[in-house]
Amino acid sequence: MTKEELKKMRFLNVEIESLLREKERIKNSISLASRTMDGTGSKPSGTGDPTALMAIKIIERTEELEREINLRIDELYDLKQSALHAINKLQDDRHRVLLQLRYFEGLSWEEIARKMHYSRRGVLYIHGDALRALRE
């Protein structure tokens, strides 16, 4: 397990959250559009209708987002399993806790320092040790 793989876990989490927010925005726009289509909330019937075409595009984008989110989740799951296996092999409890707080819970260095009762600098030092231990 490398530092780059651990960083990738953090970025995948952020990317998944962003995709989920986009999906939610689309879902909200569908809801709003369906209420304002003809004042009754009924959907247009013809495929030549511009509103129907827009609805189809929205549905297709939603499906595309779902596929993308699922791929990222699968990738993140695999990375987390690999990381957890490597981290659990570490002898030093501080290393295991720090790496889990940083890469699994996504905490900042300051939050980790508070939780572990170390200075920020101390946490960064332990982090460097933990990464070296992971490589061994």
pLDDT of residue 116: 98
At 113, list the tokens: 């320092």
Domain locations in the chain as residue ranges = 1-89, 92-136
Contacts of 28 (CB under 8 A, 6+ apart): none
At 21, list the tokens: 């927010």
pLDDT in tens, the chain (136 residues): 889 999 999 999 999 999 999 999 988 877 666 665 555 545 545 556 777 788 788 889 999 999 999 999 999 999 999 999 999 999 999 999 999 999 999 999 999 999 999 999 999 999 999 999 999 8
Choose among 24, 55, 21: nearest CA to 37.
Answer: 55
Q: Is the pTM of this model over 0.85?
A: no
> How far apart are the C-alpha atoms of 89 and 134, rounded to whole Å?
8
pLDDT of residue 33: 62
At 45, list the tokens: 């019937």
> How far apart are the C-alpha atoms of 132 and 63, rounded to whole Å?
42
pLDDT of residue 15: 95
